[in-house]
Every structure is written in structure tokens, then in C-alpha cells.
Structure 1
Amino acid sequence: MSTAPAAVRLDELWFTRCPVPTATGIAADRGTLGAEFAADGIRVRSFQDDRGRGPDERHFTHEHRTLIREGGNVPALWARSRGADTRLIGLTWIEERQVILIRPGDGPRSPAELRGRRLAVPRHPIAIDFWAAMALRGFAGALGVAGLRLADARPVDVPAGPEHPGQWAAELAALVRGDVDAVYAKGALAVESARRHGVEVGIELDDEPDLRSRINNGTPRPVTVAGWLLEHRPDVVDRFLAVLVEAAGWAAAHPADVGRILSAETGAGTAGVAGAYRVGQHLGLQLDLSEERLDLLAAQEHFLRAHDFLAAPVDVRGWADPEPLRRAHELAAHRRQNPAPAGSAAPSPTDRTGE
């Protein structure tokens, strides 16, 4: 457990997460993040729940000194490559049903059949186009299973703007028109979008045994923290991570509740969630900084740099700090062995953001 003195007063603690399965999302839904810091007078807030505003660019840039982020590795690595003062303090790996979508009865049904095919690469007018990065990485993973490279296929840029609202809308429209032969997609909303557009799954990347074929924006998914917060209030970082460790443990014992929470987090219906996240995937919410996961993230960094998504190299191991997570596991274990007495403060079931 951290013994660092609380030398700097903290009034607010911010967090952000992507609309995907995260331990942060589980903890936010259950109100445990707000409850953890209530007695300290620290207000826990989320970019996603600041309803009066649109998307907050700081979710991608990490330009906030009290921010902890659990989300895609493309923006996290991009921000770090641009000099963002962040540290990597955890990684998760959750299978999100990564697929290659095709027109019914017309398209590649094996990685080898991607050779020479037109592959949709969405191009969004945003600072870090993680959508394009995901598509290129997904196709590269599928091609690699057959010993092929992106150069063996025909990536086709598909402009994605306001005229195509919704995830994968522009690519799926291009697929239906016949402008491309395949679309990479993943997650619950992808399952629903595929059904709406009348397309089908040609290749299931989750069926491949080699994790390297499924490296992408969310695999592995990093937890990062602002350097200022870690330097001045490591105790707060440790406790935040301990809540995530506890949330992951709770999720493993409550799969039905996890399904409800994932529907709220992803914005998808029950069918989309059930079609994307297979039984037992809640187990992947546990954080670690194992050599395997660091290697997988380093491979992603190399790919992103090779395709000009990063401003400069990122030393993944130099970026990682394992101490906060180690201390958080110690704190969570201490709490399990010494549970709070009955009647002590508990999170309100209606307080899902700590606000």
C-alpha cells in the first residue's frame, strides 16, 4: 500500500473511458469510484458524463493533470508520442469479436482470400484517426494469418464525415455499393450495424489462436495516468486502481449484471452485446503489466509508427510504471482480508459517476 504523504490538496479527480468493456466503466456504474474518495472531499468526474458538452478532446490528448484514462491504445500512444506527460499503469485484454464483414455470398471467407481484395480504410477528419488505424491493423492481422501483408491487398480510402453518422456507416455503405470487398469491424455496435446493412461475417479474427493476429486499438487496452497526478498524489492513483481491481473481481462473479452494464457503456442492445462479448470475457477486465502484454503493446507501437500515426517512437517499457498497480493489488487484498464494518459508507446505486 502507498504511504506517500498527501502533500497536495486535490478537489477533483477526472477519469475517461471508451464506450467498450472497461473496469472503469464497471466501477463508474456501481458508484464505487465516487464512494472511494467522498470522505476526502475529492469529487470524481467523468468526461463522458459531462452532458452539457460534446466530445472532449482531452480524452485523446490526455491534457489534464488529474486525469486517469482507460481506453484505446492508438490515442494513448499518439498522445505520448507528442510529448504528453503520462504513464502507463495497466493493460487489459478483452476479446471484442473482431471480424471482417462482406456482402452476402460475395467476399473473402479466409485470410488467404483477402489477397488482391479492396479493403475499406475509413478516413475521419480528426486529430488522431484511430478508425483508420483500427481498420489497417485489423486487416494486417487477418492477412498475417495467411503469411500476407497489406501490400498484398488493395486498401481503399473511404471518406467518413457527417453524412455517414454512426460507427462503420461509411465503410458499410461502401461495401453495400460494391466499392470495397471487405470491412473491418469490432464490438457490439459492429454486430448491430452489420445486421442493419444486411452484410455478413466473412472472417472471425477471434478464432485465431495467436494473439498477435488480434492486436488492435483495444487489444491490449491501456490505463494511463497524468504524470502530475502520479507524482503529487500517488496515493490517489493507487486507490483508483484498487477500485478497478475490485470492479474486475466483482464482474467475474456477476456476469448477468455485466451484460447490463456493457449495454449501457457501449450503447448497444442486448443482442449486440451478446453477439460481441463471449461468455467469460469479463475475466479480461483484470489489469496487469505482464511481459506478454507489454510485448503486444510494443508490437502495436511499431505498427502505428510504421504507418505514420505516431509523431515519434514510444518506448513502451520506459513508459510503463508497475508500482501503482502492485500497490493497488496489495490494497485490494488488504481490504478483502479486512472488510469494512457493517454500516460504513457504501456507494449509492444511483451515483454512477461520483458526482
Structure 2
Amino acid sequence: MPAPATSLDTLWFTRCPVPTATGIAADRGWLAAEFAADGLVVRSLQDAGGDVPRERHFTHALTGLFREGGNVPALWARAAGERTRLIGLTWIEERQAILIRAADRGRVAEPADLAGLRIAIPRRDIAIDFWRAMALAGFHGALAAAGLGLPDVVPVEVVAAPSAGQWIAELEALRDGRVDAVYVKGALAVEAAAAHGAVIGIDLDTFDDPTVRINNGTPRPVTVHQDLLDRHPDLVVRFLRVLVEAADWAGSHPDDLARILAAETGAGPAGVAGAYRGAGSSDLHLDLSDHRLELLARQEGFLRGQGFLAGPVDVAAWAAPEPLAAARSLAVAR
């Protein structure tokens, strides 16, 4: 039986600067409209100012918070003991690639060509270094496609300030000849690569096997605090229903979607077009299928093996499929 409902005046949401159903719903004003009649204020953690510490985007130490973002912080928070539940997963192809210097074009074209090369592994002094985790997972996936592993390359630590721009420290190391290859993903990476004269050596999007692209955003979880799910299960279902409807809407409004993605990612039209060629309705839909849960479980095992998690996370037990199933039955086309 769910716990009895208690007073609640604010629902919080947070999302990473990537394509999310949450970002679309927020842009369209649908989240605020959904809960207005209940007297609930819906606020973005990104717009909270000093009201709520921004670090809670990573720790999820806020019981009224919905989070749609990278799986590295989500798994890290769960492993550290935060009582969150997994209520959805998306899989969005977002231009994952291994970049090289233009002078090395042709010499690094297949995963096997990475053997013996110096690869950039960033380090940021932050609570959970998801940048480092992304680089390790990106190279792990690429190398695995050739039957190789991280011991077959030479990791080079690249120190970046916590507030450093995306991929800038790594791309500067590539430009300066300190490393031979850099893993990148997303819209800003497309723009940063062009600015630093880097080119794609290995396009991970071209591989049929999706396990090559398992990383921080693939699959990308939606999580909620157990306390909110226990005390206000109806609110969780309604929030998810809005996200389901937002994903439906995205599939038939490509121009509006491109505008929203530019605003969410901070990238220009070229970056968005280059990174999110497939960010349509099917990609933004939430799913808790066995297949997606297995992909996330692979990521959990990799992160734990690399020392990012304080303990194991049973992904199947973490998942709470009932709210999403209920949300789908309530959803209507917008």
C-alpha cells in the first residue's frame, strides 16, 4: 500500500543539456499547466538560483525532484544510498565519435587502429566525474568492437577545471599533440571539434551493435525519489504522462524540436543537426523494456569495475515500471 499523501507545494525537475522529454514539456509550458489546478508550483532546478543547491542534480537529495539526465550520476547516487527509483529510460543517438587530428585521417579509421594510441582521459574535481566516466566508456565501447580493451591503449590524464567547456581541455590536448584520440558526444562536441580542427576517426553511430554506444546518455534514465513515489504516486504518473505526450508531440514537430534542442544544449543549428539526426519521437519515448534495462545493467557493471560506484546497483530492482505503464494508458495525443 502506498504511504498516505502529505502536503506538497512544489515539484522540481532537472534535466541535462541534451534532448529530453522533460525539456520539451517545460518549453511548452505543459508541466506547469498540468499541476496548476492542484496548487502545485513546478520549478526547474536549473532556474532555482540559490533556493536549492545545484549539486542535487547529481545527488538527487531532494524528495520532490524528477531527474532526466545521465546515468552516471543517477547510478552513483543510488549506489551511495539515495532512495531513488528508475521510472523510465530513453535511448537517443547523439553523435558519439572518436576524434583525431586531421593529419591522422586515414590512419585511424577502425577500432583496431586505436591499439597503442594515447587516449585522452579527463579529470575534473567534482563529486562524480561523469566526464571521465564518459571517456572511459566511449573508448571501451570502441575498442570492444575490435575485440580489444582499455589495456590496449595508453591513457593520458587531461586535467580540466570543473567549469571548463565541454571537451575543450581534451581537444586542446589533441591539437597540441599530447594525445592521439578524444571521445566526444553531442551537439557542442560537433562545434568544438570544428573549432579545434579535429576530425572524426571512428563514428560510433555507424555500428549496428548498440552496446558499442553504451555511455552516460545511452540509455538515459528518468528517476524520482522513493518518498515522492510512496506518498504521491498519482503525481508521478501525471508527470510521466506529460513526458509521454511530449515525446509524441516531438515526432510531428521537427522544426520546433530543433529550436528546443538548440535552447537546451546551447548549440547552434549546425551542432544540433550534426548531433541529433535521429532525435525524433521514438528516441524521446520512455521505456523500461528488458532490453533497455540490460543495457543499463551493462553500464552499471562497467562503472563499478572502474571504481565510480560505492557498491552494486541491482538495475532490475531499482526499476519501478508501474507509473510509466499507468501514464501511457492516460496519455493523449497533443
Q: Which amino acid aligns with 2:304?
A: R
In 2 relative to 1, CA 268–154 (structure 1 residues): closer, same or farther, beyond 3 Å?
A: same
Q: Hey, what's the Cα distance between the residues in 1 that align with 2:215 and 2:51?
A: 29
In 2 relative to 1, CA 54–43 (structure 1 residues): closer, same or farther, beyond 3 Å?
A: closer
Q: CA deviation at 1:279?
A: 4.2
Q: Which amino acid aligns with 1:208?
A: F
Contact 2:249 2:281 in 1 (8 A): no
Q: Which amino acid aligns with 2:150?
A: L
Contact 2:45 2:52 in 1 (8 A): no
Partner of 1:141: 141
Partner of 2:193: 194
Q: CA deviation at 1:5?
A: 9.4
Q: CA deviation at 1:238?
A: 0.3
Q: Which amino acid aligns with 1:132?
A: R
Partner of 1:351: none
Is the aligned partner of 1:42 residue 2:40?
A: yes
Q: Which amino acid aligns with 2:84?
A: T
Contact 2:93 2:279 in 1 (8 A): no
Q: CA deviation at 1:52?
A: 5.7
Is the aligned partner of 1:90 residue 2:57?
A: no
In 2 relative to 1, CA 6–40 (structure 1 residues): closer, same or farther, beyond 3 Å?
A: farther
Partner of 2:24: 26
What does the per-residue CA deviation read over 1:116-175, in whole Å, with 9 as the maximum and x for residues that have no partner?
00010000000100000000000000001111001011111111116x831011100100
Superposition CA RMSD, Å: 1.7
Contact 1:297 1:316 in 2 (8 A): yes
Question: Any idea what SS the aligned residue of 1:122 has?
Answer: strand
Question: Any idea what SS the aligned residue of 1:223 has?
Answer: strand
Partner of 2:157: 157
Could you tell me which runs of 5 or more consecutive residues in structure 2 were left unpaired when the two chains were aligned. none
Partner of 2:267: 268
Correspondent of 2:74 among 73, 76, 89: 76
Q: CA deviation at 1:58?
A: 0.2
Partner of 1:228: 227
Query: Structure 1 runs of 4+ off > 6 angstroms?
Result: 3-6
In 2 relative to 1, CA 5–327 (structure 1 residues): closer, same or farther, beyond 3 Å?
A: farther
Question: Any idea what SS the aligned residue of 1:172 has?
Answer: helix
Contact 2:130 2:216 in 1 (8 A): yes
Question: Any idea what SS the aligned residue of 1:99 has?
Answer: strand
Contact 2:250 2:280 in 1 (8 A): no
| Equivalent residues in 2 for 1:178-217, closer than 5 Å | 178-217=177-216
Q: CA deviation at 1:241?
A: 0.1
Q: Hey, what's the Cα distance between the residues in 1 that align with 2:193 and 2:51?
A: 30
What does the per-residue CA deviation read over 1:301-347, in whole Å, with 9 as the maximum and x for residues that have no partner?
00000000000000000000100001111111xx45xx9xxxxxxxx
Contact 1:6 1:235 in 2 (8 A): no
Q: CA deviation at 1:50?
A: 2.3
Is the aligned partner of 1:56 residue 2:54?
A: yes
Partner of 2:13: 15
Q: CA deviation at 1:212?
A: 0.4
Question: Any idea what SS the aligned residue of 1:216 has?
Answer: coil
Partner of 1:301: 300
In 2 relative to 1, CA 253–240 (structure 1 residues): closer, same or farther, beyond 3 Å?
A: same
In 2 relative to 1, CA 229–5 (structure 1 residues): closer, same or farther, beyond 3 Å?
A: closer
Contact 1:255 1:282 in 2 (8 A): no
Contact 2:75 2:313 in 1 (8 A): yes
Q: Which amino acid aligns with 2:41?
A: R
Partner of 1:174: 173
Q: Hey, what's the Cα distance between the residues in 1 that align with 2:119 and 2:197?
A: 18
Contact 2:248 2:281 in 1 (8 A): no
Q: Which amino acid aligns with 1:66?
A: G
Q: Tell me the TM-score normalized by structure 1.
A: 0.90
Partner of 2:64: 66
Q: CA deviation at 1:49?
A: 1.8
**The 10-residue stretch of structure 1 (46-55 or 206-215) with the greater mean CA deviation from structure 2:** 46-55
Question: Any idea what SS the aligned residue of 2:6 has?
Answer: coil
Is the aligned partner of 1:130 residue 2:151?
A: no
Contact 1:4 1:235 in 2 (8 A): no
Q: Tell me the TM-score normalized by structure 2.
A: 0.96
Partner of 2:238: 239
Q: Which amino acid aligns with 2:115?
A: R
Contact 2:93 2:278 in 1 (8 A): no
Q: Hey, what's the Cα distance between the residues in 2 that align with 1:5 and 1:131?
A: 38
Question: Any idea what SS the aligned residue of 1:308 has?
Answer: coil
Q: CA deviation at 1:7?
A: 2.6
| Equivalent residues in 2 for 1:317-328, closer than 5 Å | 317-328=316-327
Contact 1:20 1:262 in 2 (8 A): yes
Partner of 1:346: none
Q: Hey, what's the Cα distance between the residues in 1 that align with 2:78 and 2:51?
A: 25
| Equivalent residues in 2 for 1:325-336, closer than 5 Å | 325-332=324-331, 335=332
Question: Any idea what SS the aligned residue of 1:90 has?
Answer: strand
Q: Which amino acid aligns with 1:117?
A: L
Q: Hey, what's the Cα distance between the residues in 2 that align with 1:259 and 1:117?
A: 36
Question: Any idea what SS the aligned residue of 2:320 has?
Answer: coil
**Amino-acid identity (%):** 65
Contact 2:92 2:278 in 1 (8 A): no
Q: CA deviation at 1:10?
A: 1.4
